[in-house]
């Protein structure tokens, strides 16, 4: 059985740490060889809400794209994403890339356009998979981040999963939390 490399974006603005941890645990059942970027806190983009925690996950899956997306929706649902009375976004998981697919796939646009629009997606990608090429643009994520001029506030935050420090201290020290209202 062949495995397909995928990059997924995760975000939460409600009980951020617990929802991201639950999402990572659930993803570990779906992906093999899972690696995580540092976790970033960012101001909300496009909505009025509390700050988000975001990260990117790389892994390999035997699932076809649409089945993977369906499983991600179940993980989101298990974390309250679709509850009628929810306030905010408990857990959001997006397929950013699926191998080198580019185009529309039953409602999914790949690679996900947010990669080039949002610093909270591109910076973690550049740190996790710096030499991976964006399937649509052809430049590496590190090159895209170096050339980006995205006006968004975000900063790395300490975060552990399964005893591993996902965000290195050196990164949080180099990019401290700005003086802004949370």
The per-residue DSSP string of 71-134 comes to HHHHHHHHTTTT-TT--S-S-EEEEEEETT--EEETTEEES-THHHH-HHHHHHHHHHSTTPBP
Count other Cβ atoms within 10 Å, centred on residue 110. Answer: 20
From first to last of its 182 residues, the chain has per-residue pLDDT tens of 699 999 999 999 999 999 999 999 999 999 999 999 999 999 887 767 789 999 999 999 999 999 999 999 999 988 876 667 767 788 999 999 999 999 999 999 999 999 999 999 999 999 999 999 999 999 999 999 999 999 898 999 999 999 999 999 999 999 998 875 44
Q: How far is CA 173 from the centre of its chain?
A: 22
Q: State residue 10's pLDDT score.
A: 98
pTM of the model: 0.94
Residue-range domains of the chain with CATH: 4-112+153-174 (3.30.70.560)
What backbone torsions phi and psi does residue 173 show, to the nearest 5 degrees?
-70, -35
The residues facing 89 across adjacent strands are none
Map tokens 């740190």 to a residue. Answer: 127
Q: How far apart are CA 116 and CA 148, in angstroms?
A: 8
């Amino acid at each position: 059985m062949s495995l397909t490399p995928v990059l997924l974006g995760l975000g939460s603005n409600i009980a951020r740490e617990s929802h991201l941890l639950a999402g990572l645990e659930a993803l570990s059942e779906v992906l093999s060889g899972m690696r995580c970027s540092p976790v970033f806190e960012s101001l909300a983009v496009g909505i009025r809400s509390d700050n988000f925690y975001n990260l990117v996950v790389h892994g390999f899956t035997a699932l076809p794209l649409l089945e993977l997306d369906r499983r991600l929706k179940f993980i989101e649902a298990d974390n309250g994403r679709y509850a009628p009375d929810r306030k905010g976004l408990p857990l959001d998981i997006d397929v950013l890339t699926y191998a080198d697919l580019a185009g529309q796939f039953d409602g999914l646009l790949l690679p996900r356009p947010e990669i080039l629009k949002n610093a909270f997606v591109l910076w973690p990608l550049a740190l996790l998979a710096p030499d991976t090429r964006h399937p649509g643009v052809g430049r590496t994520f590190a090159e895209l981040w170096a050339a980006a001029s995205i006006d968004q506030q975000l900063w790395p935050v300490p975060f552990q999963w399964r005893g591993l420090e996902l965000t290195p201290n050196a990164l949080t020290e180099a990019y401290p939390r700005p003086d802004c209202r949370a």
